[in-house]
Structure 1
Amino acid sequence: MRTKTLLASTSAALLLTAALAGCSSPAGSGSGADASMSPMPTMSASEAAMMSVTGTFAGENGKNVAGTVTILGDTITLSDFSSDEGPDLHLYLAKGTSEADVTAGTEIAGVKWDAASQTFTLPAGVDAADYTYLVVHCDKALAVFGAAPLSS
């Protein structure tokens, strides 16, 4: 009987040791208890402003729009941009691509349909991270020509 109790106690001690070993991490790995207690690094306002947001344009409503957008800080850059011609094309930051989304969005500036490279400045106080699309909109015809979904 004593042998069974001793074996059971030894087995329990080995299981406990194995379980605890599985919860620890190798020295210097940075994922132990001490690492989880360290504060998360915070981003300064200037670092947050310099985060890059990008997107690729696609046409909507039977219109052709192509190219890419990069937003870095307060600068919007269109590259390899092209669009069907429109009488009054503008860029809007919006949370969708419907006419209502554009109306609720923020107008950036007029955009040239035939200039492959264009650069714009975000209006003061506008954060591109608050929006999900950069939309090419014809203000005169009240029509969305195309949009680029934005991602970080």
Structure 2
Amino acid sequence: MKTRTLLVSVALGTTLVLGACGNSDTSSSGDKMDTKTEMSDKQDKMMKANEKVMLQGSFAGVGKHQVSGMVTIKDNKLMLTNFVTDEGPDLHVYLVKGDDVKNGVEVSAIDLKDKTQTFDVSDKDLTKYDNVVIYCEKAHETFGQAPVSEGMDDTAMSMMTGTFAGVGTHKVSGTATVEGSTLKLANFKTDEGPDLHVYLTKDGDINTGMEIDAIDLKDAEHSFDLKNLDTSAYNSVVIYCQKAHEAFGKAMLEG
């Protein structure tokens, strides 16, 4: 009887221990499932919030570096267009708040030869950032940045931008951006001329184009009021010498 009682007690104890272990495993598994569900819910909410984000900005170089082009953040994508940068050993694109790269997030390495690049940013909280930075990780140095702000919706006039190239023997560089009723020239350089003006044209045709204003040869940044001009009729910005009747440079605009 004692032997039988002992065996029953041992069996009962083993069952209780195994049951406790089983309950522990089930509880642990449940906790993991809850954590995964919470993370998935947060990711879904962030992606839905990101879908409402539409940000745009134009690059400018920092310090001695030259960076130009446009950045657009839309539909969980970060897009660079007409992008040109000085060469660097290890350039990456970052999303940052202000100019705080240390607390920003890296998006990807960039291709120095590609003027149009697209990156997936669906895993980034786009509501936290207001600046896109080109950063050299090897030199710990910012090459360029584009402060971004809310872009126009699909019913509004889109932003158009282009990169200048010289015409003939002339040298002109920098970017032209048409946004709403403003034309901006950034990182702008041109050969000297006696009477240089900026024009909006269709395919570079000065005769049917619209003169905007004279330009300051010493100023790398220009901003011109287009006075509600219908910019949809034009697709290029031309630097034109009125005295010599000669185009010095042209930037084809893309939306």
| TM exceeding 0.5 | yes
Displacement of 1:70: 1.1
Larger relative helix fraction: 1
Aligned to 1:106: 210
In structure 2, the residue corresponding to 1:107 is in which secondary structure?
strand
The TM-score normalised by the length of structure 1 is 0.64
Equivalent pair of 1:83/1:114 in contact (CA under 8 Å): no
Aligned to 2:54: none
String of CA shifts for 1:94-129, please: whole Å, max 9, x gaps.
Answer: 1123xxx102111111112221001001144x2222
In structure 2, the residue corresponding to 1:105 is in which secondary structure?
strand
Separation (CA, whole Å) in 1 of partners of 2:217 and 2:250: 13
Q: Which runs of 5 or more structure 2 residues have no equivalent in the other structure?
A: 1-152
Which residue identity is paired with 2:226? L
Displacement of 1:61: 1.7
String of CA shifts for 1:125-149, please: whole Å, max 9, x gaps.
Answer: x222211110000001000000000
The TM-score normalised by the length of structure 2 is 0.39
Equivalent pair of 1:108/1:123 in contact (CA under 8 Å): no
String of CA shifts for 1:37-71, please: whole Å, max 9, x gaps.
Answer: xxxxx954xx23xx211000000021000000111
Matched, 1:90 2:197: yes
Q: Where does 1:12-91 land on structure 2 (aligned, <5 Å)?
A: 44=155, 47-48=156-157, 51-91=158-198
Matched, 1:146 2:249: yes
Which residue identity is paired with 2:219? A
In structure 2, the residue corresponding to 1:102 is in which secondary structure?
strand
Larger CA Rg, structure 1 vs 2: 2
Count of aligned positions = 103
Q: CA RMSD in A?
A: 1.5
Aligned to 1:118: 222
Matched, 1:130 2:237: no
Aligned to 1:7: none
Q: Taking every aligned residue pair, what percent have the same amino acid on both sides?
A: 40
Q: Which has the higher contact order (CA 8 A, sep 6+)?
A: 1
In structure 1, the residue corresponding to 2:206 is in which secondary structure?
helix
Equivalent pair of 1:135/1:146 in contact (CA under 8 Å): yes
Equivalent pair of 1:135/1:147 in contact (CA under 8 Å): yes
Q: Which runs of 5 or more structure 1 residues have no equivalent in the other structure?
A: 1-41
